[in-house]
Structure 1
Amino acid sequence: MKKIFGLIWIMVWCFCSCSQNTGKESEVEDNRDVYLMSYFKGNGDGLHLAYSRDGLQWEALFNDSVVLKPQIGKDKLMRDPSIVQDDEGTFHMVWTTGWWDQGIGYASSKDLKNWSEQRNIPVMETFKGTRNTWAPEVFYNVKDKVFYIFWASTIPGAFPELPTSESEKGLNHRQYYVTTKDFKTFSETKLFFDPGFSVIDGAILQKDDTYYLFVKNENSAPAEKNIRVTSNDRPFNFPTTVSDPITGDYWAEGPAPLVVGDYVYVYFDMYTSRKYGAVRSLDMKNWDDVSDSVSFPQGIRHGTMFAVSEDIFEGLTP
């Protein structure tokens, strides 16, 4: 009889323990981060948002409608929206305002729905003859509480001219940057990255104590149009020696890195194929192409990926 009661007690204890563990797992599951993507459509219609819980299947929010319409710039465009959240909870966004502007757009939000007044940051106006200011990216370095904003511009004659195709219109990009702590005052614009080739679409990912810079090799003659990476122990002064292409035998631009579990994903716009792709890595050295495993809303263009809390995500859904 004692043995029977002992077995019953063990079974009850196991059941309760399992139930408690399941409850804890569910609580963690409910509080996990949700991944968001900022993007634009067409020629730059405005800010769109999509979400994912696994980094593979992405679904549009707000029925894929525009969350914020562009109001500034010569062409009044909103291309390449880059969003980062600071440690006080505010989201900061920069974007390309036009094809041939010398400044970039900026706005902020607490909930990704209601945005501040849009402002122009004249980052290249002191560089006479600057052709363009494309694909600005904002990175927040928590260690020093500084925002790094970097973008691609062509200053005629600033660098040795390389052969270009007719479609490139003689553009020869390098990456430039400013820093700020409050988006009111900015450092002097300086050269950010010159790998010796035309380079656009920079994006930084911090993993542990290492900063990774992903860029697009924009050379067109011969055509490269691929994503490469370099790394450093700080988010500037990156080594100009870059990796071999981490993307495949197709044209890719707009790298958007994101940590999902043990993997680092890099999403990109396969713009000639009119679709989105992705590669992922466990060691930041070997990259697997998972483009056939990802899905996105139709017609999306270059943006960024970032994680938000469940509270923020719930505020974006009915």
Structure 2
Amino acid sequence: MRKLTMIMSVLLLLNVTGSKGQSKSNPYLFAYFKGNGEDGLHYAYSEDGYKWAALKNDLSFLSPTVSKDKLMRDPCIIKGKNGVFHMVWTVSWNDKGIGYASSKDLIHWSPQEFIPVMANEENARNCWAPEITYDEASKTYMIYWATTIRGKFPETASTADDGYNHRLYYTTTKDFKTYTATKLLYDPGFNSIDATIVKDAGQYIMFLKDETPEPAQKNLKIAYSKSLTGPYTAASAPITGKYWAEGPTSLKMGNTWLLYFDKYTEHKYGAISSEDLKTWKDISDQISLPNGIRHGAILQISSKELGKLRAQQ
């Protein structure tokens, strides 16, 4: 009887734990776009953080409706207060605002809104890759993105890449109805885009892309802060390899960090892992994602939430 009980216990453990030690009750969801973002929001899920399967036969869950271009690129979703999901995205290559919508189930979304975050900057050219991070202490959401403002930061100006010369900007909100005035979040001393910020061990960790075109960098780096709104430290040395990478999104399983990113010139995804955020190992050969996936963001959801998503046809 004791032997049978032990066997049943082992089988139960195997049933609720993924191959990498991830509980199946807490699956991961990857929100992403395809093509130019014209068809909207796509999802893939994973039980172990490595192998991903598209949901709804890789059809869109939400079509974009705002901005003259009506795109839904670079979606970022977080689960906020009262279990409500909040999403922001890039609506256009050249617009002074971003998209926003909310949902209680990741399926039915509120009417899409255009937030004119750079409307007061006459020379702003764009708003790219917005993300949201929640500050538990102040009960405040920070939305941040990359913008080029003509004439600013001449020390890193270039005619390459159509003259874009980005820095990172932010606004905060408690209710997604009123927003603070837009401010500069981070000037690392170089053209920078695609920031994503997570809190761990009492500090905020920013992964970002060095977008310097000449000589080309196009790699990912890290900066740190004790406060969500900064100031952030100088950026680290590159943590990605001899390829062009963008659109980082991270997850942490136990003591292991996984950083996913778009190897966009190679038309595929890559990933690196680390135990200390200093030494990184390329694990691109260990991951599997849907064909044609472009960058987005990873969040953790419940098995019940995933079940509803898997039921969509």
TM-score range, shorter chain: over 0.9
Residue 268 (structure 1) aligned with residue 257 (structure 2) = no
Amino acid at match of 1:86: G
1:154·1:172 contact (CA, 8 Å) conserved in 2? yes
- Name 1:137's counterpart in structure 2: 131
Q: Distance in 2 between matches of 1:106 and 1:302?
A: 18
Where does residue 91 of structure 2 map in the other structure?
Answer: 97
Residues 1:189 and 2:194 are matched in the alignment: no
What stretches of structure 2 of length at least 5 have no aligned partner?
A: none
Of residues 253-262 and 102-111 in structure 1, the stretch that sits farther from structure 2 once superposed is 253-262
Q: TM (normalized to structure 1)? A: 0.92
Map 1:247-258; keep pairs closer than 5 Å.
247-258=240-251
How many equivalent residue pairs?
A: 306
Measure, in 1, the Cα distance between the counterparts of 2:81 and 2:178. 19
**Structure 1 residues 149 and 119: CA distance shift in structure 2, 3 A:** same
Matched residues in 1 for 2:272 and 2:229: separation?
A: 24
1:3 matched residue in structure 2? none
Report the Cα offset of residue 24 of structure 1: 6.4
Q: Distance in 2 between matches of 1:246 and 1:28?
A: 30
Give the superposition deviation at 1:54.
1.1
In the alignment, the residues of structure 2 paired with residue 42 and residue 246 of structure 1 have an alpha-carbon distance, to the nearest angstrom, of 27
Contact 1:103 1:120 in 2 (8 A): yes
The equivalences for 1:32-181 within 5 A come to 32-45=25-38, 46-162=40-156, 164=158, 166=160, 168-181=161-174
- How far did 1:258 drift? 1.0
> Could you report, residue by residue, the CA deviation over 1:282-316 in whole angstroms, capped at 9, with x for unpaired residues?
11111111111111111111100110011111111
One-letter code of the match for 1:134? W
Query: What SS class does the counterpart of residue 88 from structure 1 fall into?
Result: helix
1:16 counterpart = 2:9: no
Name the larger-Rg structure.
Answer: 1
Q: Aligned partner of 2:28: which letter?
A: Y
Tell me, in whole angstroms, the C-alpha distance in 1 between the residues paired with 2:32 and 2:288. 14
Q: Is the 8 A contact 2:209 2:221 kept in 1?
A: yes
Q: Which of residues 286, 303, 310 is equivalent to 2:303?
A: 310
In structure 1, runs of 5+ residues without a counterpart are 1-11
Q: Alignment RMSD, CA only?
A: 1.7
Percent of aligned positions that are identical: 47
Q: SS of the residue aligned with 1:292?
A: helix
